[in-house]
Structure 1
Amino acid sequence: MTPRRLTPALLTLLAATLGLTAPAHAADDEGRLITRNTDGAWFLQQPEGTPGKGCVARFTAATKDQSQLALLGPTATSSTAALLMHGPRIATPRSARDVSLELQQDGLPAATLRGALMAASGPRGGGFLMVPVGDLTQTMASMRAKEEGMQVRVDGVDVFRLSYDGLDKAREAMRDCLAGKPFTGGKSLAEATAEVRPVGNSTITGTAFFKNAVLAKKRYPPKGSQAIGLIWMSDEFKQWFEMVKQSQKMPDRIPDHIARHFMVTTVLDDEGGFRFTRLPPGEYQLIVDFSYTETVARTEVTGRTDVYAGNRYIGSNDHLSVWMEDVRNSVTFSKTVHIAKDGDTLQVSLDKSMLGCFFICR
């Protein structure tokens, strides 16, 4: 049995099993950890200097798309509270657009709400859907502590799905924040991240694309996908991976101290942009894995005409039918990079036409 290929999809699953719930490019102001579970993690953002204002409780799912649900309290400049959903299937209009949305929860009748699709903001993939609420405390009280497969539809299309747990703890922290009480417990995002992957001050950023010929057009991993992974190539990981290669069998469970070497990030734009932040110095392996559609010509012999000169057979002509067909192809490639010192930023062009492969290259 050969070792299972470690694609970004597998890296995501590994990260999820450890509770790695924050995207690698998450901002430093994501707040402090309220609670973490197998579904994801809740963080509380509490700005200094404005007690009771600007409170945000944000849940990030431990799933491949890392969808988010945020409870937004009133700010110093706005008395409006809101629920904010973020996910890869939510549209990103040029400007905010009012919509009617349908909320579906297990065991409850569907509810129709008014909301707004928000214009794209920053480099993050996916879109934002905001639902204003009049009384956030009352709204939180009506929400269940755990939801399984909550769905939101806009114009008859599924745009958001989320399973979460721990809202009871997030609700308590949010109530205290709205009352002006400081939230002293919980780890910062950096501290929580350090438990499940290496943390430093360096960044790896760049673009990824594939060209199967010199004159072929570039193929990019889809925007918003988790198509780009990163492996921290420490001596510890190299020793473990050498043992895996020698045994020719992937272990049933990857140890926590090895799984923390795997990271994934979201493709930021239509040209394969990516970013990994908070990395320490060292050697890293970037891995790209995605599929693309290619139109190819297919030819079929549908008949034949024999040719004679007099009574002498001199050959035959094939009757050909030609049609165009869309074919789904997949590609995996990798590149090794080195961060020399803490705080460095590496700009990387991740191009298969120039690269070798680490695990398996198709």
Structure 2
Amino acid sequence: MTPRRLTPALLTLLAATLGLTAPAHAADDEGRLITRNADGAWFLQQPEGTPGQGCVARFTAAKKDPSQLALIGPSAKTPSGALLLHGPRIAAPPAAKEVSVQVQQDGLPPATMRGALMPASGGQSGGFVMIPVGDLKQTMASMRPKETGMTARVDGVDVFALSYEGLDQARSAMLDCLAGKPYTGGKTLAEATSEIRLMGTGTIAGTAFYKGAMLAKKQYPPKGSQRVGLIHMSDEFKQWFETVRQSQKMPDRIPERIAKHFMFATILDDQGSFRFTRLPPGEYLLIADFSYKETVTRSEVTGRTDVFVGNQHIGSNDQVAYWFEDVKKNTTFSKTVHLKDGEALQVSLDKSMLGCFFICR
């Protein structure tokens, strides 16, 4: 079956819809928790004042991969529903662009359909693929409660991978929302997040880069990766860490009260930008860990030239070929910062040989 083409008018509607329903919502409009498991969590967004419209059930992966899947209900601007895929490997064009999307699910033949690459929204890294569906209820009914390793290809290129479970609970909540029933169960995103990490009102944002020489170019962690981490260096964490250090052995399992101190940020652009939000005041350790390119010189003896003076052999010279090769090396560096209550702190997390020329010993 040939996928139906998307009209320019529909692309325009999808672009408008994206601004309302993409996973990048304001902090107080991110929905309520439906269910959470090892793979991630489902949230339901239900706008007030428009019963049955603007419903969004969104799954966010719990792994070091910000991939998301959203079920989008009809709105005042778009009478039909849609599926929205978000991931760091999806391109973000300046305007909506029609594409062919092939979805592969474990044990099922590939399904090919028409979709659209959507412009970036709300400062999120990566891009979005919108797949319109004629009947969202029917589409949800055909979806399995659990998927392992679901992938998507856009115009023949792998751009998305996700494993999830709990769709049966998300489907039930979404059907109630589409019927105009208010969803009062579950916690808000802030409440759910507070269970897995400490919360506050401060922000730490900045850029991470490596500069290997004075005239070398800055090199940044890849956009969409999670190569910048943050540790809240509270008294509780320091006491635990000192105990581990003295034992000289990492524990098999980190207690939940300690795991709350660890956070990772997604690199937002090609200049290594990152952002941590909702942080309590205190001391923090920023850590960058990523690969960079270094050009090295290789040499190889390709032959030998004999040297004669008259008829007498006095020695030989090696014939050497030289070439340059880019190799990947790993770098890890850190920086300690102090955050005040409610402060928006800007930092530069860098490892620069220029800085060491003046400062380092």
CA apart distance, 1:175: 0.9
Q: Is the 8 A contact 1:25 1:265 kept in 2?
A: no
Name the stretch that deviates more: 86-95 or 194-203: 86-95
Does 2:79 align with 1:79?
Answer: yes
Q: How do residues 10-49 of structure 1 correspond to structure 2 at under 5 angstroms?
A: 27-49=27-49
Structure 1, unpaired ranges of 5+: 1-22, 357-362
Give aligned-pair identity as a percent.
Answer: 74
C-alpha displacement of 1:47 = 0.9
Question: Which one scores higher on RCO, CA 8 angstroms, separation ≥ 6?
Answer: 1
User: Which whole-Å CA distance do the structure 2 matches of 1:230 and 1:163 have between them?
Assistant: 26
Residues in 2 aligned to 1:334 and 1:256: alpha-carbon distance in whole angstroms: 24
Q: How far apart are 1:212 and its partner, in Å?
A: 1.4
Superposed CA deviations along residues 46-71 of structure 1, whole A, max 9, x for unmatched, are 11111111111100011111210001
Q: Distance in 1 between the 2:57 and 2:76 partners?
A: 17
Match of residue 226 from structure 1? 226
- Contact in 1 for aligned 2:58/2:69 (Cα 8 Å): yes
Preserved contact between residue 25 and residue 276 of structure 1 (Cα < 8 Å): no
What's the counterpart of residue 348 of structure 1?
A: 347
> Corresponding residue for 1:177?
177
Task: For 2:277 and 2:65, locate their aligned partners in 1 and report how far apart those are by CA, in whole Å.
Answer: 18
- Secondary structure, counterpart of 2:352 in structure 1: helix
Written as runs of structure 1 = structure 2, the 5 A alignment for 1:166-205 is: 166-205=166-205
Q: Deviations over 1:250-288 (max 9, x none)?
A: 111111111111000100000000000000000000000
Question: Shift of residue 315 of structure 1?
Answer: 6.3
Amino acid at match of 1:83: L
Change (3 A) 1:164 1:100: same
Q: Using the TM superposition, give the Cα deviation of residue 121 of structure 1 relative to its aligned residue in structure 2, in angstroms.
A: 2.1
Q: Which residue does 2:3 correspond to in 1?
A: none
Worse-superposed segment, 113-122 or 36-45 = 113-122
Question: 2-side partners of 1:351 and 1:161: how far apart?
Answer: 31
TM-score normalized by structure 2?
Answer: 0.87
- Residue 270 and residue 115 in structure 1: after superposition, are their counterparts in 2 closer, same or farther (change >3 A)? same
Preserved contact between residue 24 and residue 265 of structure 1 (Cα < 8 Å): no
Unaligned runs of 5+ in 2: 1-22, 357-361
Alpha-carbon contact 2:24-2:124 (below 8 Å) kept: no
Question: Residue 125 of structure 1 aligns to which amino acid in structure 2?
Answer: S
| Structural mapping, 1:325-336, within 5 Å | 325-336=325-336
Question: 8 Å contact 1:43–1:59 — kept in the other structure?
Answer: yes
Pair 25,329 (structure 1): closer, same or farther in 2 beyond 3 Å: farther
Task: Give the corresponding residue for 1:125.
Answer: 125
Aligned-partner Cα distance in 1 for 2:28–2:288: 26
Partner of residue 18, structure 1: none
Q: Please name the residue that 2:252 is paired with.
A: 252
Amino acid at match of 1:158: D
Would the aligned equivalents of 1:265 and 1:274 in 2 still touch at CA under 8 Å?
Answer: yes
Paired residue secondary structure (2:245): helix
Q: Aligned equivalents of 1:103 and 1:197: distance in 2?
A: 34
Give the Å deviation of 1:247. Answer: 1.4
Q: Is 1:141 matched with 2:141?
A: yes
**Distance (Å, rounded) in 1 between the aligned partners of 2:25 and 2:73:** 24
Amino acid at match of 1:48: E
> What amino acid sits opposite 2:28 in the alignment?
D
Aligned residue for 1:209, secondary structure, equals strand
**1:289 to partner: Cα distance:** 0.5
Please, what is the CA RMSD of the aligned residues?
2.1
